[in-house]
């Protein structure tokens, strides 16, 4: 990875989760899904309780900390495959970027009308 890539990643990781969260909700709601479903997906992926998640939004926790301090990243997330932003999520080598893209992919599936049981790999 070049210097430019590292700088870009550091900039992305410094974004607050609270700044990207409204985009997830808007994408879902535009397709008739709900904020509650978005929150359920985030809790499933990270292991946060709703109260813990809300606290991170309020504190404007950066992405690196949000994912890095998650109580229990769901082991079933390795079943998330497919393309997001032209890249296969299962092929992403940078661990934190892969976690971010896993969530992007799950929200994408929600917006495409996929059933929650399938999204949550149950």
What pLDDT shows up at residue 5?
Answer: 81
Q: DSSP character for 85?
A: T
Domain hosting 72: range is 3-119
Find the length of the chain: 122
The pLDDT of residue 4 is above 60: no
What pLDDT score does 1 carry? 47
Which candidate, 23, 47, 11, 12, places its Cα nearest to that of 104?
Answer: 23
Q: What are φ and ψ of residue 61, in 5° steps?
A: -60, 135
Q: Give the domain CATH number at 74.
A: 1.10.8.290
| Whether the Cβ atoms of residue 107 and residue 38 lie closer than 8 Å to each other | yes
pLDDT tens digits along 66-96? 999 999 999 999 999 999 989 999 999 999 9
The widest CA-to-CA distance across the chain, in whole angstroms, is 41
Summarize pLDDT for 8-57 with one digit per residue, the tens: 888 889 999 999 999 999 999 999 999 999 999 999 999 999 999 999 99
What pLDDT score was predicted for residue 89? 96
Number of domains present in the structure of the chain: 1
Q: Has residue 101 got a pLDDT over 70?
A: yes
- Which residues, at least 6 apart from 96, have a Cβ–Cβ distance to it below 8 Å? 9, 13, 63, 64, 67, 68
Spatial separation of the C-alpha atoms in residues 106 and 116, rounded to whole Å: 10
Q: What is the DSSP-derived secondary structure letter of residue 94?
A: S
């Amino acid at each position: 990875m070049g210097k430019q890539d590292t700088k870009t990643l550091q900039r992305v990781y410094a974004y607050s989760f609270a700044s990207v969260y409204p985009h997830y909700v808007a994408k879902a709601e535009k397709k008739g899904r709900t904020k509650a479903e978005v929150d359920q997906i985030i809790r499933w992926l990270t292991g946060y309780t709703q109260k813990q998640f809300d606290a991170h939004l309020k504190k404007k926790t950066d992405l690196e900390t949000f994912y890095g301090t998650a109580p229990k990243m769901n082991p079933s997330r390795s079943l998330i495959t497919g393309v997001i932003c032209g890249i296969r999520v299962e092929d992403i080598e940078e661990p934190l970027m892969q976690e971010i893209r896993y969530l992007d992919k799950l929200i994408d599936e929600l917006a495409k009308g996929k059933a929650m049981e399938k999204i949550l790999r149950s």
